[in-house]
Amino acid sequence: MPARVIARRPMPKAYDLLVSQPVSTTGLSRQERSGIVISAVADADGSAHAVSRFGDSIWDLRPYFEQSNVAECFKFIAWPTDCPASLVDDCKAVLYAWFKHGLPGVKPPHRSRRLQGGNRLCHSADALAERTRHRTL
């Protein structure tokens, strides 16, 4: 007897909540910046719920992935905790701006590119923090 395949339904999107977020972190207080919604879902009633916010140490980007062939571990950005907070916040701001605007003449990044960009920024932040630690010793 063949195995029964259960189709995974995509998470409903919370477009209204995501569109209402600021397009830049420039000029926002630390508290305002921390509250920016990065990813969100809608429940069966259509109510939006934030999944990840700017201030979170891990950004959960699962709402942007509908295909099942991407491993769960690739749907998160774990920001480094052993770096100066200001460096991590700056990296988050750069990635958030890229999410919202893209590059000049280029569309904003597709979900897989967002994750790659976030992971590259995390590695760059780690490397920069490591160099800074060696200079101060």
Domain boundaries, the chain: 15-136
Q: What's the predicted TM-score (pTM) here? A: 0.70
The answer, yes or no, to whether residue 3 has pLDDT greater than 60, is no
- Residue 11 confidence (pLDDT) above 60: no
Q: Please report the pLDDT score of residue 135 as a whole number.
A: 47
pLDDT of residue 128 exceeding 60 = no
pLDDT tens digits, residue range 71-87? 888 888 899 888 888 88
User: How far is residue 101 from each of residues 37, 104, 106, 125, measured CA to CA in Å?
Assistant: 16, 8, 9, 22
pLDDT attached to residue 38: 95
Residue for token digits 């295909």? 67
**Angle CA(77)–CA(18)–CA(114) in degrees, nearest 5?**
30
Q: By the 8 A CB rule, do 38 and 54 touch?
A: yes
pLDDT in tens, 16-58: 898 899 989 999 999 999 999 999 999 888 889 999 999 999 9
Q: Is the pLDDT at 136 greater than 60, yes or no?
A: no
Highest mean pLDDT range out of 13-17, 77-81, 112-116?
Answer: 77-81
